[in-house]
Amino acid sequence: MLRYILLIIWLISLDTITKYWTENILSSTITLIPGFLSLEYAKNIWIAFSVPLTWWALKIVTVILIFGIFTYYWKQEKSKNSTLLDVSYSLIFAGAIWNAWERIFKGYVTDMISVEYFAIFNLADSYISLWALGIIYYYYRYNS
């Protein structure tokens, strides 16, 4: 269990460093792949995919989702003793907890990875996406 807590701390630290760099050092957009991928600073005041909710609803939904996912993991998934599930849930906890912290205490989440015509997101959002892929793979691989 300690290694997953350390993984969560490491992932949060990595996300924090990239957000600090974005807010304090990134002065203009950096194009990585022209017409597709760039780094740019954006304040996201909404939840996933910029779904608009009032500030209080957003914070309440965020806390309920994190608590619900943690409760589900602890009651249903933890007993399966799967490294893939444990790592996947470490990703969601790191991403969700840190984005929630920012949203609650700063009023926005710092985003910096821009995929043209799709979205702008951060590492924590990537962790959440990787969690989803890990869960899909686990259930496809072990329950089919």
Instruction: List residues with catalytic annotation.
Output: 111, 125
Tokens of 128: 């959440």
Neighbouring C-beta atoms of residue 60, cutoff 10 Å = 12
CA-nearest of 123, 115, 114 to 17 is 123
- Is residue 41 within 8 A of residue 112, CB to CB? The reply is yes
Geometric angle at alpha carbon 23, from 17 and 24, rounded to 5°: 85
Q: List the strands of the sheet with 119-121, edge to edge.
A: 30-33, 37-44, 109-115, 119-121
